[in-house]
Structure 1
Amino acid sequence: MSKVPLDVVTGTLYQLPVKTLLRYRCLSRPLCSIIDDPDFIKLQLNNSIATKSHLRLILKGLHLYSVELDSLDKAIPFNHYPESIWTGTEVFGSCNGLLALSNSDQDIALFNPATRQLFKLPVEYIDLPDKSCIRGFVFYGFGHDLVSDDYKVVRMVQFKKDEDDNLGCFVEYEVKVFSLKNRSWTRVKKLPNYLRFMFQFYFHLLHRRGYGVYVNGVVHWVSPRRPEFGIGNLIVAFDLGLEEFRLLPQPNYGAREKDFVLDVGALEGHMCLMCNYDLVKVDVWMMKEYGLKESWSKMFSIDRCRSISSFRFLRPLICSNEDGGDKVLLEVNGEKLVWYDWKRKKLKTVKIDGGPDSFVACICVESLIPLDNGSHGIILKKLQEQKEKKTQWMISCQKDLNWFYDQLTKDAEYEQSEKGGCWMLEQNHISIIGLGQVVAVSLCKEIFSEDAEFAEAAVVQKGVRFVKDIGLAPAIIELDFLNIVKSH
């Protein structure tokens, strides 16, 4: 590895499956440091999304199952959590390789199937506005805050004063947001009036329509048409960065605007709408430019056929890379997966061995997105915050660093005459700026002056050692990038 440039190594690694990367991570400190780097994690994720590689289909029946999207042949049950706890778990979101799971309003977790990390959210109780109210339906949402690079869970609780779900007599909603980065819940105080009419019992009870659809940093739900109040279909959007609600503009549906049931979905990173006409026909619309009403276009229509007796529910999952991308994988009625060629108007049923008879489906990309809140994550965050300060220091000490590099021969061999020992330094792994550095002890003390113990923790966590006996100024050498071997 010492003879291969770092960018070549990185360019090869990010194309590999997560399972392989986790194995390589255990081979050496340099590999571990590369794979754990936040920039590499993003690079691997973006490449997998762009190339549609390392994708899995998640099926939720009585249990959770994973299916390789390339083959779609065999469903493998998850066994990374106690079945007694997670039987009946709902999957209410999938984003960048993370699944959002729930057993109840207060039992929520995030799960990375590729790394097998599970993070249970702290319990957040529901605050009833007064004793006369009872809790109604609960909506969930999950996605990526593009502004703060955070992952957030949205929980929206409906309150009402009697048992009639359809008359719109409920009082208000409680909306709370959990931040993975901050590990805490906050309450959204500014709620629009249209939330009062959002819930409709049969619409949201069936086919998990209360679970928000994530696109472009925003989670979306449908507020179904309420003719008794003179309210049409609404697309309710919650911006995870601003933590504010708004309405998403809809296309011009045409003459039959009031004759369909509306659903929302996501396809190829774009917002989609499904217009279901009397269970016999579905129109699928796509928003090419998010937020722009004029960018809506009808993608395709699908009619009832012999293999599908009715469309109680239909949602597109992903387009195929083959045949010019004219095929789309559809979940139909929570019991069937089909490939639909919208150019040829042909359907092909997908048969998966070992899968549940009834299910809900979602796409999950393999990623290295971490969920742990251990010292490693804290150290990386603090190192990033001090990056600018360290860079300025490195510039001011460039002369000393140049002296150090001048001591390295072409073979990266440095003789120390006073000690009589020979030190071999893998020169290709040295990076002046970034995680791999030669950092003076004085700098370490200066950077972490507010928390002296943190410097020591950083040394232990990153595999760093103090080197004082090789003729250099007292320094910290990060062995993630600099491997030192003493020969006699």
Structure 2
Amino acid sequence: MGTIPHEITIDILGRLSVKDLLRFKCVSKPWCSSIEDPYFIKLHLSHSLKTNTNHSLILRHREYHFFSVNCDSLETTHILNHPFGEPKKTIQILGSCNGLLALVNHNDSIFLWNPSTRESQVLTSNETEFASPSPWIWFYVSQCSSPSIYIARSTYYGFGYDPISDDYKLVRMVQSCGLDDEYFHSEAKVYSLRSNCWRRIKDVCFYLKFSREFGFLANNALHWMVFRTPESRNKELVGFDLESEEFRFLELPDCCLDEAFLIDIKAMGGDICLTATFRDFSNVDVWIMKEYGVKESWIKLISCYQPEFIPDSPFAVPLAFSKNGDKVLLLIAYKWCNWGSRSDNFVWYDLGSQRVEKVEIRGLPASFDVDLYVDSLVPLNSNALMINNEMPPEVMFSE
């Protein structure tokens, strides 16, 4: 029996799951070398993104428990052992890109983590260059008879990939301000995985009013909802181009935003997706920006009415398209309001028939935050401090 040509072997391997590829590294040294080759890693990732395969949901329950759900089957949850270890402290996901997750804990320590390969890396520490007080506390000005000054600190993060420089970047924006307008400091920095260091960039031209928010990645840019002026009550969408490292405002659709009770905006299918839930919970509109930065390219993807749409559910958040693009996976969440013992769950929404199909997932926690990531072999910087999890596979992922 003749040997299979190398090109055909690579093509076959490129269609497999990361879990299978990690096992097949033990087949032979040539296979191990091929699977670890940077070209193959990019080939495998590109195939997963183009075919919408090897995607998973990552669920965060009770602020420190993590689970994954394979999007190809959506049958059961698998326990994930995150790199922060066992302490039951708050851990948040700053962003997800190409299989890498950026995490921050209660001490503001930041890790990059690939849940598929179980590699993680702690980022170099980065203090603000101005003396910044702790968030949301009172300060008394020494040698001054003036009343207390209330100083608030806001920190916004975003994580993404710049294909031009072939580099993963983490953005951190910090603002501290007082009610009397006499105290204001602002700082923006970017961390580069390639150089493993932080550097200061041009300061932001907008205002951050919440203690902590995380941006989303779409069209090679990171995005946040911010305020254009300190007096503004309406949030606006701003993007940060990861190549030019410049900020720009993007216009939202004319979709009665003033009447909406809740606005949720994120990426779906590579495009910016906006969900507007109206004050009387009568309907939910989902919009997609088909041409980046062009206001006229916003199209209404879904306009659904309740209770005909999803009975007794005020919040429906779109997450992903199905493989052939004819359905949308929605998170149905109850945690923002008092609805008794209702549990968060998922449904498929058929764009053609406008029908809803409930998704039954075993081991689903009652409430959770959810992010989407692609299973990949993307490595972390070997020159930086690496933390490799030595737990056996059965501990890392429950079957």
TM category (shorter chain) comes to: 0.7 to 0.9
Query: In the alignment, which residue of structure 1 is the partner of 2:339?
Result: none
Task: State how 1:99-138 maps to structure 2 within 5 Å.
Answer: 99-104=101-106, 106-129=108-131, 134=151, 136-138=153-155
Q: 1:279 Cα deviation (Å)? A: 5.4
Match of 2:202 among 186, 189, 195: 189
Shift of 1:286: 0.8
Q: Among 68, 71, 76, which residue is 1:69 paired with?
A: 71
Superimposed CA distance per residue, residues 187-243 of structure 1 (whole angstroms, 9 cap, x where no aligned partner):
223321xx22x3257xx7xxxxx21110121111112698x9356441011112222
* Structure 2 partner of 1:148: 165
Contact 2:186–2:203 (Cα < 8 Å) also in 1: no
- How many residues align? The count is 356
Distance 1:187 1:20 in 2: 41
Tell me the CA shift for residue 105 of structure 1: 6.0
Give, as a single letter, the amino acid of the residue that structure 2 aligns with 1:179.
Answer: S
% same residue: 38
Deviations 1:38-72 (A, max 9, x none): 11111100101111221111101120001111222
Aligned residue number for residue 271 of structure 2: 270
8 Å Cα contact 1:330/1:339 also seen in 2: yes
- Structure 2 contact 14–40 (Cα < 8 Å) conserved: yes
Secondary structure, in 3 states, of the residue corresponding to 2:33? helix
3-state SS, counterpart of residue 84 of structure 1: coil
Q: Which residue of 1 aligns with 2:191?
A: 178
Give the letter for the 1:328 counterpart.
V
Q: Structure 1 residues 225, 158: closer, same or farther in 2, change over 3 A?
A: closer
In structure 2, stretches of 5+ residues that fail to align are 134-140, 142-149, 336-343, 387-399
Note the alpha carbon deviations across 1:73-99, whole angstroms, 9 max, x for none: 211111254542464311121111111
What letter matches 1:348 in structure 2? E
Residue of structure 1 in register with 2:362 after alignment: 353
Could you list the runs of 5+ residues in structure 1 that have no partner in the other structure? 205-209, 378-488
Cα deviation, residue 115, structure 1: 0.6
Give the superposition deviation at 1:357: 1.2
Query: What does residue range 37-436 of structure 1 map to in structure 2 within 5 Å?
Result: 37-62=37-62, 63-79=65-81, 81=83, 83-85=85-87, 87-104=89-106, 106-129=108-131, 134=151, 136-162=153-179, 171-192=184-205, 195-196=206-207, 198-200=208-210, 210-223=213-226, 229=231, 232-253=234-255, 256-260=256-260, 261-278=262-279, 280=281, 281-305=283-307, 307-311=310-314, 313-321=315-323, 325-333=325-333, 335-374=344-383
| Higher helix residue share | 1
Q: Distance in 2 between matches of 1:247 and 1:105?
A: 32
On the 8 A contact 2:132/2:176 being kept in 1, the answer is no
Larger radius of gyration: 1
Matched-pair contact (CA < 8 Å) for 1:160–1:172: yes
Structure 1 pair 224–342 and aligned structure 2 pair: CA distance change class (3 A)? farther
Normalized per residue, the structure richer in strand is 2
Runs in 1 of length 4+ with deviation above 3 angstroms? 80-83, 127-135, 167-170, 228-233
**Which AA in structure 2 matches 1:273?**
L
Q: Give the TM-score normalised by the residue count of structure 1.
A: 0.67
User: How far apart are the structure 1 equivalents of 2:355 and 2:296?
Assistant: 29
Specify whether residues 247 and 170 from structure 1 end up closer, same or farther in structure 2 by C-alpha distance, changes over 3 A only.
Answer: farther
8 Å CA contact 2:168–2:192 kept in 1: the answer is yes
Q: Give the Cα–Cα distance (whole angstroms) in 1 for the partners of residues 132 and 374 of structure 2.
A: 43
Deviations 1:326-346 (A, max 9, x none): 321112335232222233232
2:371 partner SS? strand
Give deviations 1:237-274, integer Å, cap 9, x for gaps.
11122222111232333xx3422243211111111112
> Are 1:157 and 1:173, in contact at CA under 8 Å, matched by a contact in 2?
yes
Output the amino acid matched with 1:371.
Answer: L
> In the TM superposition, what is the alpha-carbon distance from 1:276 to its structure 2 partner?
2.4
Q: Kindly provide the amino acid, as one letter, of the partner of residue 357 in structure 1.
A: A
Q: Is the 8 A contact 1:135 1:157 kept in 2?
A: no
Give the Cα–Cα distance (whole angstroms) in 2 for the partners of residues 326 and 13 of structure 1. Answer: 28
Alignment partner of 2:258: what SS?
A: coil
The CA distance in 2 between the partners of 1:300 and 1:184, in whole Å, is 43
Instruction: Look up the SS of the partner of 1:285 in the other structure.
Output: strand
- RCO higher in 1 or 2 (8 Å CA, sep ≥ 6)? 2
